[in-house]
Structure 1
């Protein structure tokens, strides 16, 4: 039980990679708050304070909503040990034709939402001796893919935000790291894999010859949350099967 007695918040935790990470943490003894704008229709998660996996509503674009999430979790469980800032959206399209509202939605959810979540979580993490902050990036943060301007820009910003905050908190008992998945057979990645023409192109760029599994990303998130990663800080961990571009 690598996370026995600990409490984690996973934003974007009701579906996709977020839910896979939440499940992995719960199996290792952690109580996990799955936070999202709305609960996933296929899962009946109890409210915070009940069960190993619970749901708390949050709009990561809203600082008051994010603070309510952190405060509500701490009041229910008496501690906060891990934040996984994973809430994200994507709006595809060439930059010259992308609707400004779509750009704003991606940046405010992915980048601003990560910033607000980290900023709000740190004081609670410090109350009980520190903890872990894990952000979520993407292979597209460092690789050019036409049509991904908003998403790629938001994820590149998250990687630099992670490194800066890690340095700023270096004197405190908090590590700040980033997970950067490649093509994963879950959520947005699964939608891409269903497009045979597009997938045939990208599959040839993966050394492993296949898409990753959500559980493989969750295993990496588990490593960054447990005691085995004490000396890992300010790092972007790529989980992509040897992605060549």
Structure 2
């Protein structure tokens, strides 16, 4: 097997050597060698005794455990009054003394005048101020109504007038006024009915309406002295409540027949 391989290699080499070269001869190339690069750094100069003496001396410190070192002190600035070179003071927490609370104004004793002995002070009592209640003047009571005789009236008007009188005496002034107004629709020219309605309005406190009704009753009364007297008493009460004292006196004088 080895012999066979050697024979094949010999045949191949012989075939290659037997073929002549064709074409131009190969060119001759001149190769110029590259210059060597400059050194990057010069070699360190050798150390001499003079260079060693010129170098600063290295300081060596002994190793200490940080856990055993004392805590650093906080520098405190000296007070403003201290001059330069004064020793620094260690700051301390200021001690605050509580001030006594002032006594109330009522319990503070007043300082006596010089040369005068203070008078003994007894227990103080708080002054109680009672608000003044407004004084309400009671309204003057109406003049009691004199006896007025009921004249001849129509049957329906007379029944309503008697019903109104009973309502007035029981305090039902609204019902009495309603009954008299119904009676006046039946007999509007009767001075007696206008007089009774004026008396009811006066007792209700409607003084202005009471005075007008009494004046209208006077215009229809003619010679009935009892009705005219009661009408003037109603007008006197109305004027007195309005503050017209002179007018009230004049009405009372006319009621008495003056």
Greater Rg by CA:
2
TM-score, shorter chain, exceeding 0.5: no
TM-score, length-normalised on structure 1?
0.23
